Amino acid sequence: MTLPVRPDLAGLHPYGAPQLSVAARLNVNENPYSPPQGVVDAIAAAVHKAAEGLNRYPDRDFVALRADLAHYLAIESHVGFLQVENMWAANGSNEVMLHLHQAFGGPGRKVLSFAPTYSMYPEYARDTITDYVTLPRRDDFTLDTDAAVAAIAEIQPVMVIVASPNNPTGTALPLSDVEALCHAADQVPGGCLVVIDEAYAEFRRRGVPSALQLLPEHENLAVSRTMSKAFALAGGRLGYLAAAPAVVDALQIVRLPYHLSAVTQATARAALAHHRDLQAQVDEIRAERDDTVRWLQEQGYTVAETDANFALFGPFEDREKVFEGLLERGVLIRVTGPEGWLRVSIGTPQEMALFRSALLEVTA
């Protein structure tokens, strides 16, 4: 039998990093800590309550959740201007990104990003028959802003997507760069949206700003966040976005009705209510990140500047061999980034001790 699979999808394999049961799972930038007991109890109680109403469809517009998200950002990033109308959410920021492509992408339209970056970006584009174009980052993984501005004028994309902190490099984008991108996007005749993917925002170092601050001045700016990393809720699947109401209106058109289940809404709201309890974990991960970077540098490695919960380090002549050697010792990291580099997610102190001793053995 011949299946009429789209020719551009034929023979492709689904994306996904290995999910292995090893001592230290440091390959997909998860939070290594379970949600604290108080948060687990609050989620369980909220889901129990939601279960009583599961015969009904959930609030299609998830208004209470959007209000909670706006309230959380007001505290986390000192932005007091966000209202329900500015907020959007979906099953992970991956789905938020897909909504953006469904609403703004499509045949004959281009999305611009800056490599190396998140490996899912080309997939959202492919799935929505949008052209995905990348410009290389500088050697230190910062953005070549002049080249970016020139490229926006030349290729006239519908969206410019920048992860900040960037995955897999950890690089944060200065606000002056975000502003330069927004101004360049303003000049694109058909309009152009600048999307800053702040999946790792909560891990940024002190003094590193969030692009959320710039929303009042830029109607063509959208900032996406997720509860997958800092909230220890990767399994809960909740990503969200803050932007001008017109952007959110466009996303409403393409979402499936009731895309956020009542269970998901209840889970996310319970976790948001406890965001202060989760802050201690984030602080520990940031401290462990800084210690890991220092240790790697002491071993003579180059480490990309990181504001995320992972570090990209190298160079290795044979990074596959180092990856395999670590895996044999129960440490799963990620072969990603330019040739010669490896990425390690920041785990618990015990996991990072295992990582350090395994790396010393493998490279001895």
Task: Report the interface residues with ligand PLP, using CB under 6 A.
Answer: 29, 92-94, 118, 163, 167, 197, 199, 226, 228-229, 234, 239
Q: How far is the CB of 108 from ligand PLP (least distance, A)?
A: 26
Q: How far is the CB of 97 from ligand PLP (least distance, A)?
A: 7
CB atoms within 10 A of CB 285: 25
Euclidean distance between CA atoms 195 and 128, whole angstroms: 17
Nearer to ligand PLP, 229 or 274 (CB): 229
Nearer to ligand PLP, 145 or 226 (CB): 226
Helix (H, G, I), strand (E, B) or coil at 241: strand
Nearer to ligand PLP, 35 or 358 (CB): 35
* Alpha-carbon distances, residue 61 vs 17, 65, 88, 224, 233 (angstroms): 32, 9, 9, 18, 21
Euclidean distance between CA atoms 10 and 13, whole angstroms: 9
DSSP string, 324-364: HHHHHTTEE-B--SSTT-EEEE---HHHHHHHHHHHHHHT-
Q: How far is the CB of 274 from ligand PLP (least distance, A)?
A: 19
Chain residue whose CB lies nearest ligand PLP: 92
Nearer to ligand PLP, 199 or 362 (CB): 199
Within 13 Å and on the Cβ side, how many CA atoms surround 341? Answer: 20
Nearer to ligand PLP, 29 or 77 (CB): 29
* Residue recorded with tokens 């600048």: 194
Euclidean distance between CA atoms 245 and 239, whole angstroms: 17
| DSSP letter assigned to residue 57 | P
Phi-psi region of 150 (alpha: psi -120 to 50; beta: other; left: phi over 0): alpha
Q: How far is the CB of 121 from ligand PLP (least distance, A)?
A: 8
Euclidean distance between CA atoms 270 and 79, whole angstroms: 22
Nearer to ligand PLP, 229 or 286 (CB): 229
Q: How far is the CB of 264 from ligand PLP (least distance, A)?
A: 12
Q: What pairing do the DSSP bridges indicate for beta strands 193-197 and 239-243?
A: unpaired
Q: How far is the CB of 163 from ligand PLP (least distance, A)?
A: 4
Euclidean distance between CA atoms 24 and 329, whole angstroms: 9
Nearer to ligand PLP, 197 or 351 (CB): 197
Q: How far is the CB of 28 from ligand PLP (least distance, A)?
A: 7
